[in-house]
A and B are shown apart, each in its own frame.
Chain A
Amino acid sequence: MMRGVISVLALVAIGALFVHSCSGPRPRLVSAHMRGPVASATVRNEGPGEGEVEVEFRVQGRAGPAVTKSEKASIAPHEEVVVESRIDGARGDERVEAQVVYPPR
């Protein structure tokens, strides 16, 4: 019985160590908008881990197909960063959608 309890506690400790030391970031998209020809996304890391995240932009103008672009950025624990990507030919009035992906593909 005692041995079983110790084994379970050891497993929980390993899990806690993993979470503490090996966690990646937990990115959340705060906002996304166009700033002239540049698509801009604000990303906040809500986790205690660090790592590289990928932001996928999808810019849709009044006419024509959507333009997609992705950028990678390193993010520290609990940090907020702005990720930008220049869209050739954009005028600034396009609709922009962004998605944060972790781990980057």
Chain B
Amino acid sequence: MRGYLKRIVTEPGVDTARAYARRVRLLAVTYVVLFVSSCGGAVLLALEGKLFVTLAQRSNVETLTILFLLVFYSYLAMLSAPGALGAVRIAARGIRGTQGLDGLGPPGDGPYAALGVVLERSDGAPLTFELEGLGRLAIDGARIAHRDALRGGSADLIGYFVRQLEEITGRDVPIVVWGQLDDDDAERYLAQVSFARALQKHLGAGPLWPTLALNAAQCDELSLRLLEIGPALAEECLLPDWEYSAEHKLPVIPEPLGLVSLGRSAKRADPMATMGFATAMVLLTLGVIVLFVLRTPWVPG
């Protein structure tokens, strides 16, 4: 189940460079569909408002539901508008064959995460991976950060790097905290790691914190795999990186009693998962609305 959640919700498209590129393209399409369907839903509700108010009044459904749907569609349209614009720019890049990334603003600090193990090079050199004009992936102990990133960078890049690292080294390297989502927790954890490393240095002892040392060949292989996703990463820069946590709840005995409810949460939900789910919900509700317009349901006389 954990693997399933990771593949679908937390880190989709991190297994291979091809999967990464597919995820970026799919995300771009998702933004367009979400934007268009949200706008369509809001317009349809406005145009057929009289019908829906009558239906709501006649069928004991709260009329406020219509307003809720209008707000829901408007919010999602606003959220997806930059993504839809980015998708258009990606398509334009594809048609024109240009590689430029103009108008994305100056590079800045991107997302960061805390790893369950300390990463270091066996030769003691700093552990940094250049991303060819898209910033660099800097690792300091258990902190992994996308530096000099364009337009906020990519959290999924970190997921991709860690997945490739696991594959190359054969070791499990869990991402324990995502800095964008819980920076207090991340800084607290990373401070503990720093303390352990300082203590280790002071005592002249072996690693006090779980540590993974990478040799030069492993670092070169990681660099190559990062370069493979360069074009996809450039396209991803044109899309917004909406980071959320996800929670799934199933009330077995619902409110107001609320005695039993089942829940599962993921600390990070990839935009592909969140926007994909939002799109599915918008399409589902839009489908019902269109059905109501085309085939008005029976209501009591």
| A52: Cβ under 8 A from any B Cβ | yes
Is A23's CB under 8 angstroms from B296's CB?
A: yes
A18 CB contacts on chain B under 8 angstroms: 291, 295, 297
- Nearest chain A CB to B42's CB is how many angstroms away? 22
| A104: Cβ under 8 A from any B Cβ | yes
- A22 vs B288: C-alpha distance when bound (angstroms): 13
Is B301's CB under 8 angstroms from A52's CB?
A: yes
- A2 vs B55: C-alpha distance when bound (angstroms): 36
- A25 vs B58: C-alpha distance when bound (angstroms): 15
- A47 vs B297: C-alpha distance when bound (angstroms): 11
| CB nearest neighbor in B for A48 | B295
| A49: Cβ under 8 A from any B Cβ | yes
| A51: Cβ under 8 A from any B Cβ | yes
Return the CB mask of B271-301 against A: 1 if under 8 Å, else 0.
0000000000000100100010001111101
Is A24's CB under 8 angstroms from B291's CB?
A: no
Is A11's CB under 8 angstroms from B291's CB?
A: no
- Nearest chain B CB to A11's CB is how many angstroms away? 7
Is B298's CB under 8 angstroms from A22's CB?
A: yes
Known: A15-B291, A18-B291, A103-B55. A24 touches B301 (CB 8 A): no
| A72: Cβ under 8 A from any B Cβ | yes
- A18 vs B287: C-alpha distance when bound (angstroms): 12
| CB nearest neighbor in A for B283 | A11
| A74: Cβ under 8 A from any B Cβ | yes
Q: Which residues, 69 to 92 on B, are CB-close (under 8 Å) to A?
A: none
Is A24's CB under 8 angstroms from B299's CB?
A: yes
| B16: Cβ under 8 A from any A Cβ | no
- A15 vs B288: C-alpha distance when bound (angstroms): 8
Is B301's CB under 8 angstroms from A19's CB?
A: no
Is A72's CB under 8 angstroms from B301's CB?
A: yes
Is B298's CB under 8 angstroms from A23's CB?
A: yes
Known: A15-B291, A52-B301, A104-B301. A26 touches B296 (CB 8 A): yes
| CB nearest neighbor in B for A74 | B301
A23 CB contacts on chain B under 8 angstroms: 295-298
- Nearest chain B CB to A5's CB is how many angstroms away? 15
A22 CB contacts on chain B under 8 angstroms: 297-298
Known: A26-B296, A49-B298, A51-B298. A103 touches B291 (CB 8 A): no
Is B299's CB under 8 angstroms from A51's CB?
A: yes
B298 CB contacts on chain A under 8 angstroms: 22-25, 49-51
| B65: Cβ under 8 A from any A Cβ | no
Known: A74-B301, A104-B301. A47 touches B295 (CB 8 A): yes
A19 CB contacts on chain B under 8 angstroms: 291, 295
- Nearest chain A CB to B186's CB is how many angstroms away? 35
Q: Which residues, 48 to 105 on A, are CB-close (under 8 Å) to B?
A: 49-52, 72, 74, 102-105
| CB nearest neighbor in B for A53 | B301
| CB nearest neighbor in A for B299 | A103
- A residues with CB within 8 A of B: 11, 15, 18-19, 22-26, 47, 49-52, 72, 74, 102-105
Q: List 21 A-B contacts (CB under 8 A).
A: A11-B287, A15-B287, A18-B297, A19-B291, A22-B297, A22-B298, A23-B295, A23-B296, A23-B297, A24-B295, A24-B297, A24-B299, A26-B296, A49-B295, A49-B297, A51-B298, A51-B299, A51-B301, A103-B51, A103-B58, A104-B301
The 4 closest A-B pairs by CB, nearest first: A52-B301, A24-B298, A103-B299, A24-B296
